[in-house]
Structure 1
């Protein structure tokens, strides 16, 4: 009898895991723009320009996933073209353009594809899935009633180190998460970037098989590796600076454009 019970609970556990490894997560990302600008603005930019920009901007994303593949994509809204405050003094004007590329992951083939737009040119960054040296802290909290555990890692943004804190749910046994983050033993339901400058939190979790058409790799753009794209990006930014342009890409998936 004891062996039968163990077998029963083992099968039940596998069934629950199977039900929890595919579905859709709705995320809301809030970027605190003034903090980002104050932290990342290049030398020579007026520090008071942050007063002309909204305190924060919030976007919504869907992550459709199975046990092996996922697609993270922004949900379009009516005001996608631009967001921002009125122009500042001296004839300056500020705009914030969305720059939130769809991110596709294929765990079986260790492949990640991002559809990037760089100054009007489209690229497909097709490369291996980046690895991160997560450190599980053991801290716990609940997100949408899912018990979550925290993990941290340090990366860099525009040459500045920042700490990323992730909260993952072991009861959703997939190594995915928002904005390309993953590699943990459970779905990441929250990401805190750099002490709260940008926060992505799950607002809804639906554990049901998503439509296969909702998890297709992006196809538009010139295919390049991550290293090739970064080289092109550096060259383009250098060209802009030499031409006297005021463009710079801020954190949190935005491009801040300064016009005189």
Structure 2
């Protein structure tokens, strides 16, 4: 066994030393939607059969596949396109577009820079900012992911206000405390403002598993900074797991930063999203549209 491991490590080292080294990794991303789906319960217009359908569609929407193409310094992380099912319309399509998909996510660990193109509220943005530097705590704990021995690292990070995967349902006690007569009437009528039922945590713990067998400081999304390729990330309600790795694929893909959209920083983009969400929330409260569930 030790001989096999040594041979494999030497093979990886020879691949990485190649002048035009490139790698490709496939990641499966799943976001828990149990608390999101629970907010549809209690609406008297939604039957148990409809509730089951909602939960199944949400589960399918938030299971995504991404491709990470990387070299020693840079990478692109893009969602694998799927054919949209007839059920993914209206509010479902809106929520799906907010859950970490779409566009090209580019990061350069040498220049400590990331860019990602996003479409929001009918406008195209190009987020350009410094790579977030997490204070990773390395652990001796290990596990096997495929052919790779991985080690555990943890960090606490602030939550981006535009990352809707981290929205969580408010506790029922808080809802009751904030619920006035008008809200009670709306709730009884099954015509509540969906966004009023949510809150965003300020920070979350991240658990990552990286492999020194591939000594590249890369990973999915904005994760980087560990002494090896990150193969698994548990981030709040989302788990991202590598299912396939190809070293030096026959067909090389150009790793280039996206250029389309209005350039904004991450903070500026978060502010734009927060303001638009508040606008929609107010429209919903006043009966002028917005994002509502029910009638």
TM-score w.r.t. length of structure 1: 0.75
From the superposition, tell whether residues 115 and 82 of structure 1 become closer, same or farther in structure 2 (CA, over 3 Å): farther
* 1:13-92 to 2 correspondences below 5 Å: 15=14, 17-18=16-17, 22-35=22-35, 48=42, 52-54=54-56, 56-57=59-60, 58-79=63-84, 83=88
Shift of 1:98: 3.1
* 1:96-245 to 2 correspondences below 5 Å: 96-99=95-98, 100-101=101-102, 102-155=104-157, 156=159, 157=166, 158-194=200-236, 197-208=237-248, 213-244=253-284
Deviation track 1:169-219 (CA, whole Å, cap 9, x = no partner) reads 11111111112211111100011123xx32111110001057665411111
| The 10-residue stretch of structure 1 (46-55 or 177-186) with the greater mean CA deviation from structure 2 | 46-55
Aligned residues: 226
Determine the C-alpha separation between the residues in 2 that align with 1:138 and 1:145.
Answer: 18
Specify which structure has the higher proportion of helix. 2
Determine the C-alpha separation between the residues in 1 that align with 2:85 and 2:73.
Answer: 31
**Secondary structure in structure 1 of the residue aligned to 2:281:** helix
Greater radius of gyration (CA): 2
Determine the C-alpha separation between the residues in 1 that align with 2:28 and 2:246.
Answer: 15
Asked whether the 8 Å contact 1:17–1:171 carries over to 2, the reply is no
From the superposition, tell whether residues 94 and 115 of structure 1 become closer, same or farther in structure 2 (CA, over 3 Å): closer
**Secondary structure in structure 2 of the residue aligned to 1:180:** coil
Q: Which runs of 5+ in 2 are unaligned?
A: 1-9, 44-50, 160-165, 167-199
TM-score w.r.t. length of structure 2: 0.67
CA RMSD of aligned residues (A): 3.0
Shift of 1:125: 0.4
Deviation track 1:54-89 (CA, whole Å, cap 9, x = no partner) reads 2633211100000001000001011278648xx9xx
Determine the C-alpha separation between the residues in 2 that align with 1:228 and 1:210.
Answer: 40
Shift of 1:94: 4.9
Deviation track 1:221-253 (CA, whole Å, cap 9, x = no partner) reads 101111211221221112111222554xxxxxx
Specify which structure has the higher proportion of strand. 1
**Secondary structure in structure 2 of the residue aligned to 1:56:** helix
